[in-house]
Homo-oligomer: A and B are copies of this chain.
Amino acid sequence: MSLRNGKEFLMIPGPTNVPDEVLRAMHRPAVDIYEGPLLETTDFCIGSLRRLFRTEGKTYIYAANGHGAWDAALCNTLKRGDRILVLESGRFALGWGEAGGIAGLNVEVLPGQWDKGVDPARLEARLKQDTAHEIAAILVVQVDTASGVWNDIAALRKAIDAAGHPALYMVDTIASLGCMPFEMDAWGVDVALTGSQKGLMCPPGLSFVAAGPKADKAHETADLRTNYTDWTFRQGPEHYQKYCGTPPEHLLFAFRRALELLFEEGLEKVWHRHALLAEATRRAVAEWSRDGAIHFSISEPHARSNSVSVVRIDQGDVAALRSFTKEVCGVTIGGTIGELSGKGIRIAHMGHVNAVMLLGTLAAIELGLTKLHIPHGRGGVQAAMDYLAEAV
């Protein structure tokens, strides 16, 4: 018996729930691209990206998804054959590295595990070995949506500094910006990038890159540029140059509204909301885990991200569980991917998510666990409620 017909939520790690107001902002005729209000919107968005990334650097808007931003970061700053060091902690830094390989870079992976964050000490050790400074760039994700890990970007910066290494420090914040603190300038990040469809609550199709002065310097001699990604062209005087062609107007209208919503709530409050909802989720998972069949994907508590919780389920029909929450209850939760494929679920708590959505989602999961006889400890939702009653 389906109890699905109601407002459905999408609790997957991207794309996320788009606020009604953001959808509404897209529902309008196209406008001129050479003059008029679109120009002001561009200025607003480019400036707001600085506020989001917490940088005085330059910011760029791409009509592209996050993979497009990966290319943009690499092609604008590196030279064919440059070595890049990819810090593994899931799937996405590896994917970024592979993109570099296709572009002609020399890719080295600092091996890591899916169940913990990148170890600063290992990074420092590797960099110290690189006495010739062959490594031109270090690539890491702040949050990996496949593993659910959170990496300590500030600590990794300290490791780089401790090694005295000059490589560009590049951070993918696709699954974290707008969900948790990120301090591009304070943490010494040279290139940061993100996408529209996760913490930023927009439809997918836009991505964003921020570049600090060291990246700007590297750009001067980069030889992998393509026209579409090229920062130099995008700094030109014409409005269309900002987008290297026709601006993706409707997505920009949406992005503008989403930015306004974020700033109205206040970035710090947004982060705090995510922190509380994530911890409530972890309290529930901890209860469910008491029976032995359910586990946190990330073994180190401090490395569990505030945007997505990845949960391994060793017994029971995971596909049936996801189907149950969706078809019977009305909420779509993520399946695990990559090396965890088919072995668990991903509960996203990123972007436009409030307490009632989260508690409903946890309840739908716990209901499904019971219904489908998947071994689990009872009381997950109760624990989440108890936590929030204390924390809010």
Binding site for B on A (CB under 8 A): 1-10, 12, 14-21, 23-24, 26-34, 62-68, 70-71, 75, 98-100, 102-103, 195, 197, 203-206, 225-230, 233, 243-251, 261, 265, 269-270, 272-273, 276-277, 325, 328-332, 335, 337, 352-364, 366-367, 370-371, 378-379, 381-382, 384-386, 388-389, 391-392
Asked if B250 and A6 make an inter-chain contact with CB atoms under 8 angstroms apart, the answer reads: no
Contact for A32 among B10, B21, B228, B265, CB less than 8 A: B10
Return chain B residues, CB-CB under 8 Å to A71.
226-228
Query: How far is B31's CA from A15's CA once the two chains are assembled, in angstroms?
Result: 7
Return chain B residues, CB-CB under 8 Å to A62.
64
Between A and B, 11 residue pairs with Cβ closer than 8 Å are A1-B273, A4-B355, A5-B270, A10-B29, A65-B248, A71-B227, A99-B226, A205-B206, A205-B249, A359-B363, A359-B364
Return chain B residues, CB-CB under 8 Å to A269.
1-2
Asked if A245 and B354 make an inter-chain contact with CB atoms under 8 angstroms apart, the answer reads: no
Query: How far is B381's CA from A337's CA once the two chains are assembled, in angstroms?
Result: 31
Contact for A8 among B29, B360, B386, CB less than 8 A: B29
Query: How far is B386's CA from A99's CA once the two chains are assembled, in angstroms?
Result: 48
Asked if B3 and A17 make an inter-chain contact with CB atoms under 8 angstroms apart, the answer reads: no
| Known contacts A248-B204, A249-B15, A363-B381: A6-B356 contact under CB 8 Å | yes
Other than A3-B354, A5-B265, give 19 A-B pairs with Cβ distance below 8 A: A1-B273, A1-B392, A5-B354, A7-B17, A8-B29, A15-B249, A64-B68, A65-B244, A66-B245, A68-B245, A75-B226, A100-B227, A102-B226, A226-B226, A329-B354, A330-B354, A359-B363, A359-B381, A367-B388
Asked if A356 and B329 make an inter-chain contact with CB atoms under 8 angstroms apart, the answer reads: yes
Query: How far is B63's CA from A378's CA once the two chains are assembled, in angstroms?
Result: 44
Query: How far is B362's CA from A15's CA once the two chains are assembled, in angstroms?
Result: 27
Asked if B204 and A63 make an inter-chain contact with CB atoms under 8 angstroms apart, the answer reads: yes
Query: How far is B66's CA from A91's CA once the two chains are assembled, in angstroms?
Result: 30
Return chain B residues, CB-CB under 8 Å to A225.
102-103
Return chain B residues, CB-CB under 8 Å to A270.
5
Query: How far is B20's CA from A28's CA once the two chains are assembled, in angstroms?
Result: 7
In the complex, the chain B residue whose C-beta lies closest to that of A386 is B370
Contact for A227 among B32, B102, B261, B363, CB less than 8 A: B102
